[in-house]
Structure 1
Amino acid sequence: MKTYSVNRVTITNRLDCCDTRINGTEIRVGNDSSDVFSNPVCAVVSTIPAGATDSYSCHGMEGRYVIVTIPGTSEILTLCEVGVYVIFPGNLATGRSVTQSSTYGIWYAEHAIDFNPGFTKLWSACSSTTGETNPWWRVDLSYIYRVSRVVITNRLDCCTERIKGAEIRIGNSLENNGNNNPICAVISSIPAGASSTYVCNNMEGRYVNLFIPGDSKFVTLCEMEVYGEGPLLKKTFVKIKLQSSSSLSEPEMSLQLLSQLESALAERGISDVALQWSHPPKQEVRWKEAATAQSARRKR
């Protein structure tokens, strides 16, 4: 009904027979409804096993129409299910880097931001850690944002009580894997298959964690959405005095020093900074020492 940025398309093949009929199918995304073949190709299906569902990435192709077609004569197109997943505007978690403390089977961390709530096949659409002490899931927003709300979708099939006690933490530190950042909310419960919204009142942070403290806990996420505004780019000026035997007026040495400072900050959990010189470094201390030494030689 309107133009979207299509993230991916899933196709489920028939189970009984004739599963090869899907071979060569083209997935096209575009805005032309009169000539389907004029729309760009997202992917070509080589084969899908009987009864299986395969996913095809369209990388944000824009279009109102998603067309599944088999070019040729005397062809038969049989589809048991087609899923279209789009990139909704405003979700800061879209396309970001994610990780989790452990992975149960193929319940990868990325499944929690794939726009697929996993109501039919959770194992291919939800993320989950193994049962462990203090499990967590984290998304890196790449920049600092003011987070207004977080939306979490719970699993549908079973074990919905596992989400109880989960803490949503937002901040800029990776100390303790980001689990020491301030708390936005603590989840009491989310019904099976439901999505709950948690207001974070514009908390600032680059990292959003879902953390469950305790023993033998699981973090299972079928979808995590993060909304807010930004990015926030803050500039701070710092004046530092150094003792160095190297000439910091040389561009190579001054860049090397910035790299060393960034590494030192990263070791302390501060990784969302970019350092640069507002003024070239001056060798004031070195010249003063040289002048003192020269004066001493003259007195001798």
Structure 2
Amino acid sequence: MLIFVAIILGTFSVSSACTNATPYELLTKGLKATQSSLGWKGIPFRAIDGNFATDYGEQSCTHTLKQPENWWMVDLGKSYRVKEVKIYNRADCCKDRLNGATVRVGDNANGMLTNAVCGEPIKVGTSSVIIRKCTLEGQYVSVSLKNQYLTLCEVEVFGEELLTIKGLKATQSSLGWEGIPVRAIDGNFDTNYGEKSCTHTMKQPENWWMVDLGKSYRVKEVKIYNRADCCKDRLNGATVRVGDNAKGMLTNAVCGEPITVGTSSVIIQKCTLKGQYVSVSLKNQYLTLCEVEVFGEELLTKGLKATQSSLGWKGIPVRAIDGNFDTNYGEKSCTHTMKQPENWWMVDLGKSYRVKEVKIYNRADCCKDRLNGATVRVGDNAMGMMTNAVCGEPIKVGTSSVIDRKCTLKGQYVSVSLKNQYLTLCEVEVWGEGL
């Protein structure tokens, strides 16, 4: 779900350490893997079991037989935008066997060898960690190798979640030439209208198309596939909007500049906007969209359980995740603890996520400096939250009542702690991605 500024295609690098950071979601945990054959008890699941040992004797690596076509594949469960595939090669022997292996990403399971190639064929170096970077969309990630045993000790796939999955509801202002609105989210990227892959409205003063994401997300990018067989300039001046207003979609916030059609049929609009509805609108012109992809992050804190170290002035902990952003304590929108040596507030996300940002709305009617020195933590330890990893620097209160802490940490519990001071939080938003 996120952060897509530079698109890197066909590049190759070898990691010098096993701890390279990536801003993207780990997609491979707990999934189903298959391979072309089984040798030496090297079952395919070993490559996604979280065991990074590169010694085959540790029962951590896969193994096929030697056949003309040898492959391993993981099913991500749904289509993602894959950004990086990290392979941990066998190190106790035979590392050169992986030379020439190819990584592929796509939506074809039975014909995986026809899926798009991610990066260059593998060239084994001194490191046992091999990285392939790409920007490809698909549900299946495979590694294939001709005429050689295929052994993988771990495979990590990192990427972003596509929000406009099949099955969502799309609407538009009118219908022309049988161009129904669902065509823009049907997974068909054909830009020839004759292939029945594009939407079409009539020409009215206000023409629009809209998708309902099902719940509110933080939208980071909208990718539009324009018609290419004719009439591509019709899309000039179209506006992309994101927000929570369905009936008044034209009042939602604008994502990027109005569209200027160029030589490519793919148009990308970048923004950081929260909303359930993404729309494309155009005045006095037919509106045709062959596909629309929306990428973003999920708000993790809505409707969850929160706790805190103590209760003061009726400032119950759920107030920080109730969707009320009022920063005046008198509006009953903020939490409050007593002043003790250790004061804390914590939300249970229900399961472990990769947390990317914690946004805190501080009290503004008084006492804002009390929050100075507070620490945000993320981890899987509920009872020992103070041992969880720190997200960003300790808080330094400034002129704004909104404080952001950015990190890339995995955990089920997000906490804010403060020593020897009342802890008050008017709202806490946690943004991230599922594991």
TM-score by length of 1: 0.48
User: Looking at both structures, which has the greater relative contact order when contacts are Cα pairs under 8 Å and sequence separation is at least 6?
Assistant: 1
- Richer in helix (by share): 1
Quick check: which has more Rg, 1 or 2? Answer: 1
